[in-house]
């Protein structure tokens, strides 16, 4: 599969341009008619030269990045202009990393280089763990013998967010509320006290899950707006792990998978307990939903000097093409419209709690998600 969609270095040259080359490239688009056309478009538009380097950005693009000087991106690649975390790694160049194999923007530009107009959707996770959803169109243009690419960009993050709320939040809440309603109606027809108690316990678990779903969406919305308030308290990590074990052992998503706590020393830390539970809870939910029969989930925490490291492990293996897309908002191998859990791990864990979130997955050892932060 990867060989079929791998982007070649011919389409994305790895050589950086010097100032003379940049100046020469910029001069190739010194065409008033083209510039007037680009500036008349309400969308963000970049003009790329034959090496897929930015040689012009219109005012709409400038307005989108209020704090970024356009002169700083001239001669750079499109991913650099959006501070894509993958193109920002030392030695990496936009369009040539393994993550670019699944990037809609990279594929659209490749199509344009081959002479075809192309529209794709693109998910970018920035170096600040901000998720941007874009719809891009790359169109080939020839000017004075130079092959250029008009690269228009629409920010569809709000559209994606709204659709996500409709498909995920409302869908999940209706399912839980429907279950509570159905169980409540059954109670009217039951006389056995023991059976009534069992149903009441099930309703209590479902109601708690309902409150948890509402709270998780509230926290995510606040985090994306940048106004999430942190509440630091003294925490015993063993308490968090015990609460997660109890919650997800009885969760409606869990179809009999055992969750155990590894026998590690308890750690005392100061942090936001609710956010840590949210991060680890999403890791556990991912493990629960993995399609491995009779899977066993292990959660643990170890001390590392002035840091602690949480781990959630299960026996599933994440395919490489899926690994490249994890942590992007709304990406999921499940039904369309899902995929917030892994994205929120990064958002909460790194942007707000200043920790580090990552994973390892192999066919031999299964999958582990990690969250490391200062104690």
Instruction: State pLDDT tens for residues 182-232.
Output: 888 888 888 888 888 888 888 887 888 788 778 877 887 788 778 888 999
Q: How many domains does the chain have?
A: 3
Indicate if the pLDDT at residue 81 is higher than 50.
yes
Mean per-residue pLDDT over the chain, rounded: 81
Same domain assignment for residues 74 and 149: yes
Percent of the chain residues topping a pLDDT of 90? 26
Same domain assignment for residues 51 and 87: yes
Name the least confident of 95-104, 201-210, 248-257.
248-257
The candidate with the shortest Cα–Cα distance to 356, out of 368, 374, 367, 371, is 371
Query: pLDDT band at 359, cuts 50/70/90?
Result: very high
* Cβ 56 vs Cβ 35: under 8 Å: yes
What is the pLDDT at residue 18? 57
What is the pLDDT at residue 101? 83
Same domain assignment for residues 357 and 234: yes
Domain CATH for 171? 1.10.287
Name the least confident of 78-82, 321-325, 342-346.
321-325
Domain span at residue 350 reads 230-375
The whole-model pTM stands at 0.59
Indicate if the pLDDT at residue 7 is higher than 60.
no
As a whole number, mean pLDDT of residues 132-136 equals 90
Indicate if the pLDDT at residue 301 is higher than 80.
yes
As a whole number, mean pLDDT of residues 278-295 equals 85
What is the pLDDT at residue 211? 85
Segment 36-50, tens digit of pLDDT = 888 888 889 999 988
Same domain assignment for residues 247 and 290: yes
Bridge partner residues of 278 (DSSP): none
Last residue of a domain, one of 155, 174, 193: 155
């Amino acid at each position: 599969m990867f060989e079929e969609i791998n982007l070649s270095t011919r389409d994305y040259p790895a050589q950086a341009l010097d100032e003379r080359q940049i100046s020469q490239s910029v001069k190739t688009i010194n065409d008033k008619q083209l510039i007037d056309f680009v500036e008349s478009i309400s969308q963000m538009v970049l003009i790329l030269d034959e090496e897929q380097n930015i040689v012009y950005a219109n005012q709409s693009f400038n307005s989108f990045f209020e704090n970024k000087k356009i002169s700083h991106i001239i001669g750079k690649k499109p991913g650099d202009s959006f501070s894509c975390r993958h193109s920002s790694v030392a030695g990496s160049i936009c369009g040539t990393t393994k993550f670019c194999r699944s990037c809609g923007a990279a594929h659209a530009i490749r199509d344009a280089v081959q002479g075809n107009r192309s529209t794709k959707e693109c998910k970018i996770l920035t170096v600040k763990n901000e998720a941007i959803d874009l719809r891009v169109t790359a169109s080939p243009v020839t000017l004075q013998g130079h092959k250029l690419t008009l690269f228009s960009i629409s920010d569809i993050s709000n559209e994606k967010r709204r659709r996500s709320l409709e498909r995920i939040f409302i869908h999940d809440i209706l399912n839980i509320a429907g279950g509570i309603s159905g169980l409540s109606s059954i109670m009217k027809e039951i006389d056995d006290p023991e059976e009534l108690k069992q149903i009441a316990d099930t309703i209590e678990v479902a109601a708690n899950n309902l409150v948890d779903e509402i709270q998780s969406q509230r926290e995510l919305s606040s985090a994306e707006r940048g106004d999430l308030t942190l509440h630091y308290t003294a925490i015993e990590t063993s308490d968090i792990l015990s609460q997660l074990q109890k919650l997800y052992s009885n969760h409606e998503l869990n179809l009999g998978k055992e969750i155990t706590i590894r026998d590690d020393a308890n750690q005392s830390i100061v942090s936001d307990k609710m956010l840590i539970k949210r991060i680890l809870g999403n890791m556990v939910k991912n493990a629960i939903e993995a399609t491995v029969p009779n899977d066993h989930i292990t959660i643990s925490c170890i001390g590392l000097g002035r840091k602690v490291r949480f781990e959630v492990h299960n026996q599933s293996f994440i395919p490489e093409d899926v690994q490249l897309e994890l942590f992007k908002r709304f990406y999921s191998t499940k039904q369309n419209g899902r995929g917030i859990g892994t994205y929120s791990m990064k958002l909460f864990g790194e942007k707000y709690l200043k920790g580090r979130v990552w994973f390892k997955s192999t066919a031999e050892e299964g999958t582990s998600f990690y969250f490391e932060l200062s104690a």
